[in-house]
Structure formats: C-alpha cells, structure tokens
C-alpha cells in the first residue's frame, strides 16, 4: 500500500467557469465546469460533480469564478522517468 507522499503528482491552476444544474428528476448531480490552465485548448475543460468536503467534514459546493487547483497523482509503478540511461548530457561529455 503506497502513501500519498510516494505518489508522483502535478498540480495545475484552474477556474470554475460555470455551475451546471441537473435537470429536475434526472438523478444527475450538479456539475462544476473547470477550465484547467496549461492543458491543450480542446481538452482544458473538465466537468466534475460539484460536491466537496471541507476541513470539518461538511459538504460544500464551488461557486462560479472560484480559483481552484487540479491535482493529478499516480503510483510510481505506473510512471516512467524522463532520464534516459546510457546517454550523457553535453555537460558530461
């Protein structure tokens, strides 16, 4: 079992563009549409359920215009190093 500190991660800034209310009776949750800075133009918007838990365990919702952070984490077993073995850099040559 891995701990969070051993996971590789990246955090990108984002902003809640809009809150999408579900159609009554649909059973779908309310969604927050977030524009992720640094993502490719066609893939920068994500929609997630608009339900978070605060430090006291209470359910809270994001507001339009809220500045957020989008964190991506992965276990080391599913990542690879950018360092290439067997190659030297110009400074090492």
Question: Residue 7: CB partners within 8 Å, gap ≥ 6?
Answer: 73, 74, 75, 76
Rounded to two decimals, what is the model's pTM? Answer: 0.76
Of 52, 11, 17, nearest to 32 (Cα)?
17
Band of residue 5 on the pLDDT scale cut at 50, 70, 90: low
Residue 31 CA to residue 72 CA, distance in Å, equals: 19
Cβ(71)–Cβ(10) below 8 Å: yes
pLDDT in tens, 35-92: 999 999 999 999 999 999 999 999 999 999 999 999 999 999 999 988 765 555 455 4
């Amino acid at each position: 079992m891995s701990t969070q500190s051993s996971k590789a991660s990246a955090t990108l800034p984002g902003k809640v563009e809009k809150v999408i209310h579900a159609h009554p009776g649909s059973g779908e949750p309310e969604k927050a549409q977030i524009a992720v800075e640094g993502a490719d133009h066609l893939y920068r918007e994500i929609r997630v359920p608009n339900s978070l838990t605060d430090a006291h365990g209470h359910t809270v919702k994001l507001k339009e215009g809220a500045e957020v952070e989008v964190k991506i984490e992965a276990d080391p077993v599913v990542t690879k190093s950018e360092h290439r073995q067997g190659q030297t850099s110009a400074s090492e040559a």
